[in-house]
């Protein structure tokens, strides 16, 4: 161990650069939710629980998005219902 270290060329911040398309955030999750994701990763033999959370959020978003066809059908039904109600 050295008696003195030179940090004059040191850089502040995260040691690992973020990959393109990724954003670093802080988020508060319920402990039981986080434990579940960590348990799933452990049961799969390893990996990253954050990746699993990201995948779950993407699946939720996909399930919530309406196709243009579904939107059009819903609007036509609403318009027909409003027209017959008058």
Q: How many CB atoms lie within 10 A of CB 86?
A: 4
Cα separation, 24 vs 18, in Å, equals 8
Contact 62, 73 (CB under 8 A): no
Q: What pLDDT, on the 0 to 100 scale, is given for residue 83?
A: 83
Q: What is the pLDDT of residues 39-60, one digit of tens each?
A: 999 999 999 999 999 999 998 9
Where the chain has pLDDT below 70, the residues are: 14-15, 86
């Amino acid at each position: 161990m050295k008696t003195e270290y030179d940090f004059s060329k040191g850089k502040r911040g995260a040691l690992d650069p973020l990959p393109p398309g990724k954003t670093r955030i802080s988020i508060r999750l319920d402990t039981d939710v986080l434990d579940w994701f960590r348990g799933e990763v452990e049961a799969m033999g390893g990996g990253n629980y954050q990746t699993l959370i990201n995948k779950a959020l993407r699946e939720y978003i996909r399930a919530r998005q309406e196709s243009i066809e579904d939107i059009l059908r819903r609007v036509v039904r609403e318009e027909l219902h409003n027209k017959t109600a008058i």
